Amino acid sequence: MTTNAPPSEATVQAFADMSAALTGFQSSFIRPFLDPVNLSGTFYEFAVAQVGQSMMDALMSAFATLSSQSPPISPQQIADSLLEVTSATPSNQAQLCQAIVSMWYLGSWYPPPFQTDGLQQVISSQAYTKSLVWNLAQAHPMGFSPFTFGYWSQAPASLETFGVNTGNGGGQ
């Protein structure tokens, strides 16, 4: 792999916007306005190092096309399209999207099937402690509770409070 310069602000923002659509989370949870943790940048660079710049560029281009359609389509439709959810044989690009969702949800790199030399790994401590699947349990990463004594005897806050974008056409 060649060493690339850090991605531009616009690239990171575009990756964050795509990640919000793919994960179903609000953009403010993926990339807050002030974001010293910067998982968007970390995940972008990590994925590029794993699958190569050209493949990432192609994915970002596909996302740009989908998100500038007129009339606009919903984030759910963008996710379904990029992930090719109805296809029995998702393309390599859709497999990369699965890996991106997995990074956000699980904090780990799960090598997509086409990456035969990939190694599964936890990307960083912060990738674990900010991993979003725990928000879907309306809970917290095991070993990283932001809550206080006795919270477990009461019902949790709403799923929206935990960052899920519940209103974009993905309901069932």
Binding mask 39-78 for another protein (x = CB under 8 A): ------------------------------------xx-x
CB of 104 to another protein, least distance (A): 10
- 140 contacts 132 by C-beta, under 8 angstroms: no
The number of angstroms, rounded, from the C-alpha of 152 to the middle of its chain's C-alpha atoms is 28
The number of angstroms, rounded, from the C-alpha of 151 to the middle of its chain's C-alpha atoms is 28
DSSP summary character for residue 140: -
Position 90, amino acid: P
Q: CA 89, 111, 30, 171 torsion: positive or negative? A: positive
Only segment of 7-15, 51-59, 62-70, 136-144 that touches another protein (CB under 8 A): 136-144
Only segment of 7-15, 35-43, 52-60, 158-166 that touches another protein (CB under 8 A): 158-166
Binding mask 83-122 for another protein (x = CB under 8 A): x-x----x------xx--xx--xx-x-x--------xxxx
Q: Looking up tokens 């960052």, which residue turns up?
A: 163
Ranges assigned E (strand) in the chain: 108-109, 121-122
Name the residue nearer to another protein (CB basis): 8 or 89. Answer: 89
Ranges assigned E (strand) in 17-109: 108-109
Under the criterion CB under 8 A, does residue 161 sit at the interface with another protein? no
Name the residue nearer to another protein (CB basis): 25 or 44. Answer: 25
Under the criterion CB under 8 A, does residue 25 sit at the interface with another protein? yes
- 51 contacts 112 by C-beta, under 8 angstroms: yes
Q: Looking up tokens 């010293």, which residue turns up?
A: 36
Under the rule (CB under 8 A), what is the footprint of another protein? 21-25, 75-76, 78-80, 82-83, 85, 90, 97-98, 101-102, 105-106, 108, 110, 119-122, 124-125, 128-129, 133-134, 136-140, 142-145, 147-156, 159, 164-166, 168-172
